[in-house]
Amino acid sequence: MTELRIETTDIPGLLVVRLPVHGDARGWFKENWQRAKMTALGLPDFGPVQNNISFNASRGATRGIHAEPWDKLISVATGRVFGAWVDLRVGASFGSTFSLEVDESVAVFVPRGVGNSYQALEDGTAYSYLVNAHWRPGIRYPALALDDASAAIPWPIPLSESEISDKDRANPVLTDVSPFEAPRPLVIGGGQVATALRAVLPDAVFVTRPEVDLADPASLEAYDWSAHDVVINAAAMTAVDRAETAEGRREAWAANASGPAELARLAREHGFTLVHYSSDYVFDGTVASHSESEPLSPLGVYGQTKAAGDVAVASAPRHYILRTSWVIGEGANFVATMRSLAERGVSPSVVDDQIGRLTFTSELARATVHLLSHDAPFGTYNVTNGGEPMSWHAVAAAVFEASGRSGDDVSATSTAEYLAGRENVSPRPAHSTLDLAKLEATGFVPTDQLTALADYLAR
């Protein structure tokens, strides 16, 4: 019996899994899919939703080279097969091949767009495959001729002696194959975060409220979600004080809670990975640093709706919740306001009892791509810039100094004094610092907030 291990191949993403097989006089037993152990060794957490069995009555039965638009884990239940894989995806590895004999001790992870074919080496062979999308009528994908000369697959049983369907005999040669194009990510929203995502996801599809309205279930039902394997929800109602009004409360619950809940349902139905952005406002700010496992404890309506959205999104099998704070991007924001005041000779009063870190939208976009491209375990991640936590007053002073003014031109005040006499004000968490250890464990190195601030102001 071998130890569980995972081997790479010359085809990017195609992985061979060596499975421990426990046998005795009665037969054998194996863990065909063990999520925790396999993902720990590097197998993508691909979220299977369907299990298929292919039975081959006679030795020599050969099934064509098909590049389906889903990931799969293939393994043998009984007998042996010869597996052949050809990369039919757009890119430098197009046309690369790999082959392997598969018995009960071997499984193979096949990423979407890689053509796969199997030839039964014994009578009564059955193999299974777990897939992470439901089959649907009319779906189209590339296929390749079994005898393509450029692939030169070394079939153990000559194709002339094999059982092959008429459909597979008609598949094209490699030069006539239209390469598989990966589904394009979908980004919902038109604000600061969506703007930053455009710079790092140039091939993504971007839609705004007229096209996909999170507050309108009919709009969500009408959209073709099957065209995307990643959906990034960058839409939200972020006017925290307006959320405390009667009209704003309804808007916040619709955009921040009900809409994400619908997206989570659609993610379960269509199998896409759902990325959602959360907020430090889901916490009451009574601890100095918030971890992802801290119980939710929102103070105001905005925080309550974001917390409800987090709970809903967490029900999607494949999800990333990126919890952030003090977001700074293109357009109106705190740093831009302080810069304007400094340039106009105004000396503002800024609160010094709210502590946290800035999150530049470029950093948030970079973390999003990092988690997706590194197949990080699904779940919730805190994402902010790095560095020592600061107060809003300290941030404002740094902006003034970078603008040629003295930091002393910014006076300090308390949150209570600043909000005194105002109506419909959302309570602010006193401590917004988010623990970044989980994010850093994935290999992401946060940019120091003061470095990012200097770069932002220089632009």
Q: Hunting for tokens 């100094």 — which residue is that? A: 401
**Phi, psi of 170, rounded to the nearest 5 degrees:** -95, 5
The residue among 276, 265, 236 whose CA lies nearest residue 372 is 276
Q: Residue 310 domain-assigned?
A: yes
* 1 pLDDT above the threshold of 70: no
Report the relative pairing of strands 186-188 and 97-102 from DSSP bridges.
unpaired
Residues with Cβ within 8 Å of 210's Cβ and at least 6 positions away in sequence, in order, are none
Are residues 243 and 327 located together in one domain of the fold?
yes
Q: How many CB atoms lie within 10 A of CB 102?
A: 22
Are residues 79 and 219 located together in one domain of the fold?
no
Residue at a domain's end among 134, 155, 176: 176
The mean pLDDT of 207-236, rounded to a whole number, is 92
Are residues 147 and 194 located together in one domain of the fold?
no
DSSP state of 160: G
The mean pLDDT of 394-399, rounded to a whole number, is 98
How many independent structural domains does the chain possess?
2
pLDDT confidence of residue 256 = 97
Q: Residue 77 domain-assigned?
A: yes
Do 83 and 57 contact (CB within 8 A), yes or no? no
Query: Confidence band (pLDDT; 50, 70, 90) for 140?
Result: confident
pLDDT confidence of residue 270 = 86
How confident is the model over 34-92, as pLDDT tens digits? 999 999 999 988 888 899 999 999 999 999 999 999 999 999 999 999 999 999 999 99
Domain harbouring 387, CATH code:
3.40.50.720
Domain harbouring 36, CATH code:
2.60.120.10
DSSP E strand boundaries for 72-132:
72-78, 81-87, 97-102, 106-110, 114-120, 125-131
Are residues 123 and 221 located together in one domain of the fold?
no
Are residues 318 and 409 located together in one domain of the fold?
yes
Q: Residue 181 domain-assigned?
A: no
Query: Confidence band (pLDDT; 50, 70, 90) for 226?
Result: confident
Choose the weakest-confidence range: 184-188, 226-230, 369-373: 226-230
pLDDT confidence of residue 217 = 87
What value does the mean pLDDT of the chain take? Answer: 95
pLDDT confidence of residue 310 = 98
Are residues 105 and 226 located together in one domain of the fold?
no
Which residue range is the domain that position 57 belongs to? 5-176
* 425 pLDDT above the threshold of 70: yes
Are residues 141 and 211 located together in one domain of the fold?
no
H or E, element range at 246: helix 246-253
pLDDT confidence of residue 133 = 83
Are residues 165 and 196 located together in one domain of the fold?
no
* 459 pLDDT above the threshold of 90: no
Do 6 and 17 contact (CB within 8 A), yes or no? yes
Residues with Cβ within 8 Å of 31's Cβ and at least 6 positions away in sequence, in order, are 4, 19, 20, 37
* 255 pLDDT above the threshold of 70: yes
The mean pLDDT of 408-435, rounded to a whole number, is 94
pLDDT confidence of residue 132 = 86
* 259 pLDDT above the threshold of 80: yes
The residue among 113, 99, 100, 120 whose CA lies nearest residue 164 is 120
Angle at 111 between CA 312 and CA 45, to 5 degrees: 35
pTM value surpassing 0.85: no
Residues classed as catalytic: 66, 129
